[in-house]
Chains A and B, each alone.
Chain A
Amino acid sequence: GAGVSQSPRYKVAKRGQDVALRCDPISGHVSLFWYQQALGQGPEFLTYFQNEAQLDKSGLPSDRFFAERPEGSVSTLKIQRTQQEDSAVYLCASSPTGAVSYNEQFFGPGTRLTVL
């Protein structure tokens, strides 16, 4: 079946613009994670959803970052007033159940955001 998809794959934004990044998880997957990966670094946790509930948003770097998953499937990560330090690859991952400690994460291809 289809894996995790993300769109757009590439996004160039001018500093100060708002962007919205979309994640389509594997159908039926309960858990959804967002990560930020800077060049040459490991993925850094941003936020976690279990169905439509955002249970952990401790990794969001500032109040310019906002994520939602209103119907428990598709998720959107929104960044307001983008800054150059927001340039990174944004990865989405989904897992079959809410048992986070027992499920592998299936990653999407990521969205590469470049802020000029």
Chain B
Amino acid sequence: GQQVMQIPQYQHVQEGEDFTTYCNSSTTLSNIQWYKQRPGGHPVFLIQLVKSGEVKKQKRLTFQFGEAKKNSSLHITATQTTDVGTYFCAGTTSGTYKYIFGTGTRLKVLA
């Protein structure tokens, strides 16, 4: 069945360093969403990408959707302690209602 993998599984960075997580789907996606989940919390929507090759920025966060719509990345510039949490990508395929979540990347930021 459809799988969405994320790497790395864990990342520890010093505050101020950059961070990138990669999301790879076994099938072509209609769209991809990114969520952040703080420890003990619930997923919170960050952004959605729909077009092939799309790039979106939110302050220090940059999101990309691959040309083949099978992969995506989230890059955080100059991490802060408030960036701590697990980042999930989630995608759906054409004609379905089902979102497949990635395995997640847990980010720890050391002050």
B33 CB-CB contact with A under 8 Å = yes
Q: How many whole Å from A97's CB to the nearest CB in chain B? A: 12
In the complex, which of the residues A43, A48, A50, A106 has the most CB atoms of chain B within 10 Å of its own CB atom?
Answer: A43
Identify 8 residue pairs between A and B in the complex whose beta-carbon atoms are under 8 Å apart, listed by A's number. A33-B99, A35-B101, A41-B103, A45-B98, A101-B31, A102-B50, A105-B33, A105-B45
B45 touches A59 (CB 8 A): no
A104–B33 touching, CB < 8 Å: yes
Total interface residues in chain A, CB < 8 Å: 26
Q: Interface of chain B, helix or strand or loop or mixed?
A: loop
Distance A42 CA – B98 CA, assembled complex (angstroms): 14
B:22-71 near A, CB below 8 Å: 30-31, 33, 35, 41-45, 48, 50
Q: Contact check, A56 vs B97: say whether CB atoms are below 8 A apart.
A: yes
Would you call A55 and B97 a contact (CB within 8 A)? yes
Given contacts A42-B101, A42-B104, contact A104 B43 (CB under 8 A): no
In the complex, what residues of A have CB within 8 A of residue B102's CB?
42
Q: A25 near B: Cβ within 8 Å? A: no
Encode A33-50 as 1/0 by CB contact (under 8 A) with B: 101000001111100101
How does the 8 Å CB contact mask read for A101-116 relative to B, with 1 for contact and 0 for none?
Answer: 1101111111000000
